[in-house]
Amino acid sequence: CYEPEAIARFKQIGTVVFLSVGFSVLKRRLGDLVARGVVLKPGMTLKDLYHERVPLYRACADVVIEEGKGSVWDTVNALKCRIEEDQQGEQKA
C-alpha cells in the first residue's frame, strides 16, 4: 500500500480487494504479533499502524467488503456479488 507501482501492478493482474475489519477484530485475529511477523516502527503501536494503513488500503482497493460481523460465507457471498455487479457495469459501459 506504500508503493504506487506495486498497486498498479496488482490492478493490472486482477481486482484489488480490501476486507475491512474493526481494530478489535484484527487484533484478535493477529494474536502474537512477533510470531505473525508484524513489524512496527519504534514507538508505534498496532493501533497506530491500523489507522495509518486502513485509509491507504481503502484508496487502493477496487472493492471494499466490510467484514467481521458475519460468517466466512457471508463475506464470500458479498465479494461475489460485488464482483458480479462490477462486471455487469463494465459490460454496459
Tens digits of residue pLDDT in 3-60: 889 899 998 988 899 999 999 999 998 988 888 888 899 999 999 999 999 999 999 9
Backbone dihedral angles phi then psi of residue 62, each to the nearest 5 degrees: -80, -35
Look at residue 23 in the predicted model and tell me its pLDDT. 94
Instruction: Return d(Cα 6, Cα 13) in angstroms, integer.
Output: 11
Q: What is the C-alpha to C-alpha distance for residues 10 and 72, in angstroms, rounded to an integer?
A: 24
The whole-number pLDDT of residue 93 equals 63
Provide the pLDDT for residue 82.
Answer: 87
pLDDT in tens, 55-89: 999 999 998 998 877 888 999 998 999 888 877 77
In this predicted model, which residue has the larger pLDDT, 65 or 2? 65
DSSP 8-state secondary structure symbol assigned to residue 37: T
CA–CA distance, 61 with 86 (Å, rounded to integer): 13
Cβ neighbors of 27 (< 8 A, separation 6 or more) are 46
Its sign, for the CA torsion 34, 36, 38, 43, is negative
Q: What is the pTM of this model?
A: 0.78
Q: Give CA–CA dist 8/6, Å, rounded.
A: 5
